[in-house]
Structures are given as structure tokens and as C-alpha cells.
Amino acid sequence: MKININTEILRDALSKILTVIDKKNSRPILTYTLFTVSNNKIYLSATDLEVSAKYTLEAETEGSVGFCVNAKNLYEILKELPNTTINILLEDGENLLKINCNDIHYSLLIYESEEYPNLHFGSEGNFEITSDLLLELINKTSYAISNDETRLHFNGIYLQEVENKLRAVATDGHRLSLIETDLDVHNNESLTNGVIIPRKGVYELKKVAESYPNKTLVVSVDDSYMYINYDDQYQLGIRLIAREYPKYQAVIPNKTNYSLTVDKENLFNAVKRIKIMSNEKSNGVKIHLLNNNMTILANHPSLGDARETIPVDYEGRELEIGFNAKYLMDSVNILDSEDVTLEMNNEFSAVVVRSNKMQNYLGIIMPLRI
């Protein structure tokens, strides 16, 4: 088997699938990448059995073969080689992959491909979505994914079809982010019931979307897997979290009594400054509202205290609400508009975060008792 290919092309292809590989997997074969060479094409496959990726690239090839190689090692080699055509050679019966680039020569150990699991990447797609739209759904919700591994149902983005809209939701129990978009999902039963995409799958989806700006992605979903396909070149298979998602609608207030509007940058920067004097564990700050003024306060028993007052559009009763400063900053920072609206009922109820320029989005932050 012979391959002639540009180093930059092969290096870019490897970079797209490397993050799928779990270097600590208990099955050694899964720490490698499957190379399948046939008819002037190279198919690169990687999996940890939870997320699988396959990338197809064209090359000048002779012969057909399948083998497994340490892709990280190969990637590091390619990073050091000049951007030129390299020759890759595998002799029949040998277990050494020879890489030749001008006067540079490497020999890499390879392993039998028969041990590698058969990977499936779905059938006919259920719907299409642009990469830019997928990226927006992820960016506006992923910050609220929980890191608590004991609560699996919080460890991903919940995707659901609601009244002919595709809704993405993420929550960790302390905050929530929800965004909707008009999208025909062909009455998919799994999406009607809702599916949970795990954190690693979300990361790989984001990578696909960023790699192909403003391109069309084909998506298919069943009860156990989500599959993404870009032009039969880049394919992903993601095992979904087999848990029921919490009844997130219960924390969204039906109506609110008080509302304030504030400049996004003013609020973000003020909270960031006052957070310095908050408790390291809770990141707790207090927000005091009265007469078109918001005062942000923090007190650290060992360091001191801090306060800052910024103007807001607020005419409700005097209120003082505690927040996790990081949660408040995250919820505000992902908004694209200049102004942010906070809606609330009292000091203890959920606070709704909205933007006039993003009618399809809402965030929720639970107050913090300080």
C-alpha cells in the first residue's frame, strides 16, 4: 500500500477526530485511530464508544488496506514536517508504517484493524440545520451544563421539538438557558419526547459547526443516538444520555411583577469587579434595587467588602437579591444585545434574563441566600 498526500491535508483531518479518542480507555485498541485506504480515499475513524467520528479525504493511493495507528503520535510528526507531499508506505505482512518526507523518515508501529469496533453513522437524515444555527444553539446554552457527574441528566443539552420549533435547553439546577428556532424536524418521535446530548458530544458538535461555517448539516436522531453528516466528509455518532430530563418548565415563571433594564457591559463589568470581594466558594454578591439604581455588594470575612452603583431602568419596590456572581456573568455575557432585562417576583423566586434582540431566548438564575 502506498499513499501520497500533503502533510497539511492529513494533519487537518487528524485534528478533527483526535479529541474523540479517550487516552485512558480500558480497551487499548480504542486509543488508536482506524485508517482504511481504498480507491484514492482515506477514511479515518475514532471512537470511545460514546462518541464516534469518521473523516474522509482524498489522496493518491495504491492498494487497499485497513490498520490502526497512534494518531496523536502521527499528528505530532506531521506538525513538524514541511507542507509538502509525503509518501506513506506499508509493505504486505509488515507492521511498520513508513513515512518519508524528503530526507526525513519515520517508522510507526501499526495494529490489526479487525479488533476495531464496527462504527455506524446513521441512515437517512431527519432534518437539516445550518452550522451557524447549530453553533448558536450550543453557544447560548452550553454554559449552563452541569459538571456534576452524579446527575447524568444535567450533563448535556436537552433537544426537543416543541410546536414546530427546535428547542435547546441546559441547566445545572441553579441556572437554566433556553433557546428556540424555527426548524422542520419531520415529526421525529424521539425529538418530540426530547433527547439529551452529552457534554463531550456537544463539544464535538461545536467543532463540526466551527469547521464548516454557514454549511448545511444533515441530522438524524433516534432514542439512543444522534448522527451528524457534513457532505459525507465529516460524520459524527453520539450516544445520547439515557435519562429523563427534569421538568425544567416548572422553574420558568408564568408571569413576573418586576422588571429592570440595564446596560449589559455596565452590569457585567460591575459584577466582575465586586466579585473580587466575594466568598471563593459561593461567589456570592448582593444586588440592591431602588429608584433606578442597582447597587452590587460583596463582603469577604477575611478581606473586606466592596460596592458599586450603576444606573438601571427600574421603578419597582425596593429589593435585595443574592446571586452567584459567576452565574450572573455567564448569563449576561452570552447575550448579543447592548441591554439586558431582568424579571423577578421577589427576593426568593427565579430571575428571568432576557434580551429584546433575542426574543427566542431566555435564561433563569436561582437566587442565592447570602
Give the CATH number of the domain where residue 59 resides: 3.10.150.10
Report CA Rg, the chain: 25
Q: Alpha helix locations (H) across 263-322?
A: 264-275
pLDDT of residue 151: 87
Based on the fold, state whether residues 135 and 168 are members of the same structural domain: yes
Q: 303, 331 in Cβ contact below 8 A?
A: no
pLDDT of residue 363: 96
Continuous segment of H or E residues that includes residue 33: strand 33-38
Give the closest residue to 232 by CA, choosing from 144, 124, 130, 343: 124
Based on the fold, state whether residues 95 and 139 are members of the same structural domain: no
Based on the fold, state whether residues 132 and 147 are members of the same structural domain: yes
341 in a structural domain: yes
Q: 74, 86 in Cβ contact below 8 A?
A: no
Domain's final residue, options 64, 91, 115? 115
Question: Distance of CA 70 to CAs 4, 15, 163, 265, Å?
Answer: 19, 13, 47, 46
Domain's final residue, options 228, 249, 270? 249
Residue corresponding to grid cell 458599586: 308
Based on the fold, state whether residues 241 and 335 are members of the same structural domain: no
Task: Give the residue numbers spanning the domain of 156.
Answer: 127-249
| pLDDT (tens digit per residue) in 331-342 | 999 998 899 999
Q: Alpha helix locations (H) across 163-316?
A: 189-193, 199-211, 264-275
111 in a structural domain: yes
Based on the fold, state whether residues 18 and 65 are members of the same structural domain: yes
35 in a structural domain: yes
Question: At a CB cut-off of 8 Å and minimum separation 6, what does 269 contact?
Answer: none
122 in a structural domain: no
Domain's final residue, options 88, 115, 142? 115
Residues of the chain under the 70 pLDDT cut = 123, 186
pLDDT of residue 93: 83
Based on the fold, state whether residues 80 and 169 are members of the same structural domain: no
Based on the fold, state whether residues 111 and 145 are members of the same structural domain: no
Based on the fold, state whether residues 243 and 320 are members of the same structural domain: no
Question: Distance of CA 338 to CAs 185, 265, 313, 331, Å?
Answer: 33, 7, 14, 14
Based on the fold, state whether residues 220 and 259 are members of the same structural domain: no
121 in a structural domain: no
**How many independent structural domains does the chain possess?**
3
Question: Would strands 41-47 and 51-58 be described as parallel, antiparallel, or unpaired?
Answer: antiparallel
d(CA 170, CA 201): 14
Based on the fold, state whether residues 158 and 55 are members of the same structural domain: no
Based on the fold, state whether residues 316 and 344 are members of the same structural domain: yes
160 in a structural domain: yes
Give the closest residue to 105 by CA, choosing from 85, 92, 88, 91: 88
Based on the fold, state whether residues 244 and 263 are members of the same structural domain: no
User: Distance from first CA to last CA of the chain, Å, rounded?
Assistant: 68
Residue corresponding to grid cell 424579571: 343
Give the closest residue to 359 by CA, choosing from 338, 329, 335: 335
370 in a structural domain: no
181 in a structural domain: yes
Question: At a CB cut-off of 8 Å and minimum separation 6, what does 26 contact?
Answer: none
| pLDDT (tens digit per residue) in 151-179 | 888 999 999 999 889 999 999 999 999 99
